[in-house]
Amino acid sequence: MSEIDMAVIKPEMMKPYIWLETSDGSIQQVEQEIAMYCPLICQEIIQKGMGSSKSCAICLPQRVSPVTLSLILDYCRFHQVPGRSNKERKSYDEKFIRMDTKRLCELTSAADSLQLKPLVDLTSRALARIIEGKSPEEIREIFHLPDDLTEEEKLEPLKNTTDDPRIRLLNRLYAKKRKELRERERLKNVEVEEEHVDERSVDDLLSFINGNDGDPKEVKTSKNKKKNRRKKEQQQKNSSLKEASEVNKVEVNGQSIRHQSAEADRIAETSNSHTEDVFAHREFDDGDIDDGIDPALKEKIDREVEDFARRLNSDWPERMQELLSSGQERKMMLFTPNGNSFLRRNA
């Protein structure tokens, strides 16, 4: 309470006790200093001069019962003491709200009618914690509420009517895998032209081209060579940054965004073989790669994709299987811990 408010109080009002009347008609005497912690009571005393005697007791709102009033006064008694630390107050508050739901509801209602905002906030938070994570049925049970809503009002979730585009996605994944194999073959041919001595046998090379397990060390070496070559090329360039936007492509926050065109939409709808051709001429940049993902997660995704492919192929007609046969015969190289895979991002 401000000094101005205190100045308004008449000397005869400055008594240590005031009289309060609760909803059931019972009147009780309360320390004025504590009671005035409630804005509503403070207002009644200052503006109307009420509560000075039993005959002119302050009538409290309907929702304030004697039990809730005593709880509220306990709260006020603790909090109006000036020297307490925040830690003490917090600890007291935690203990204070340990009560059954019924009493907590009544206390919230009473505190609100007395305009005691700190207590309303405290009890509201406690009630919110009770409600959190509960189903409507559980909430009704806890608070003894009626189930008086119609089915329409309960707003059931929408049914999903959209077509599942996973098949088209799988086609794209297979197409990318085949493109990568062709790319490796081309790189190998270039290396042969440069007269690099390759100590592997013809059988090994053929099995590598066909996608069978080659020597992982060899693969790693070629990758490192490529990395070193790229590094050298970058150092030769004076520019410290890549051009952010190319002629027909802008990558935004890791997502590739291109000019919208009917052509792209048409390509998306085409068959698997057509998609393969489209992929053959496209470079994948860093935005398409997801690094830093747990190898265990990658393996899990590998298994899921293989399993999905297996189930998908068992359902498809034979002619569709023939279309994808080239992709299925080879080992799934797309989803490997070292490969440039499309992975679900843990963003």
Partner 1 sequence: MEDNDYIRRWEDLDIDILVKIFQLLDIFELTSGISRVCSAWRLACCDPLLWKTLDLSMLRSNFIKIPLEPFVYVDGRSDRTLTRILKISLSLSQQSIMTLIFHFNLYVSDEQLTYTAERCPQLRRLVLPAWNRIKKPGMCKAIRGWKELESLTMPCIANPPYILEEISTHCKNFSELKIMGPCDIFFASSLAAFLPKLRVLSLRCSMLYKDVLILILDSLQHLEVLNISHCVLMEALPAPQQKRIIKEIDVTIRQKASRLREFLTCMEDSCVMCQRTRTDEGLIRWYKYEEGLWKTDEGECWGYSLQNESNAIVFVRCGRLKFCTAMSK
Choosing from 169, 206, 280, 297, the residue that interacts with partner 1 (CB under 8 A) is 169
Q: Can you tell me the distance from the alpha carbon of 230 to that of 61, in angstroms, rounded to the nearest whole number?
A: 79
- Nearest approach, Cβ of residue 161 and partner 1 (Å): 10
- Nearest approach, Cβ of residue 38 and partner 1 (Å): 16
Which window, 10-18, 41-49, 69-77, 251-259, contacts partner 1 (CB under 8 A)?
A: 251-259
Which window, 37-45, 102-110, 182-190, 306-314, contacts partner 1 (CB under 8 A)?
A: 102-110
Choosing from 3, 12, 24, 132, the residue that interacts with partner 1 (CB under 8 A) is 132
Site for partner 1 in 1-60 (CB under 8 A): none
- Nearest approach, Cβ of residue 154 and partner 1 (Å): 5
Query: Interface with partner 1 includes 81 (CB under 8 A)?
Result: no
Choosing from 86, 236, 238, 314, the residue that interacts with partner 1 (CB under 8 A) is 238
Query: Interface with partner 1 includes 244 (CB under 8 A)?
Result: yes
Query: Interface with partner 1 includes 172 (CB under 8 A)?
Result: yes
Q: On the CB side of 316, how many CA atoms lie within 13 Å of its CA?
A: 15
Which window, 124-132, 225-233, 314-322, 326-334, contacts partner 1 (CB under 8 A)?
A: 124-132
Site for partner 1 in 264-323 (CB under 8 A): 264-265, 267-268, 278-279, 282, 284, 287-288, 290, 292
Nearer to partner 1, 140 or 196 (CB): 140
Choosing from 6, 14, 192, 250, the residue that interacts with partner 1 (CB under 8 A) is 250
Query: Interface with partner 1 includes 128 (CB under 8 A)?
Result: yes
- Asked if residues 205 and 198 have their Cβ atoms less than 8 Å apart, the reply is yes
Which window, 157-165, 184-192, 198-206, 227-235, contacts partner 1 (CB under 8 A)?
A: 157-165
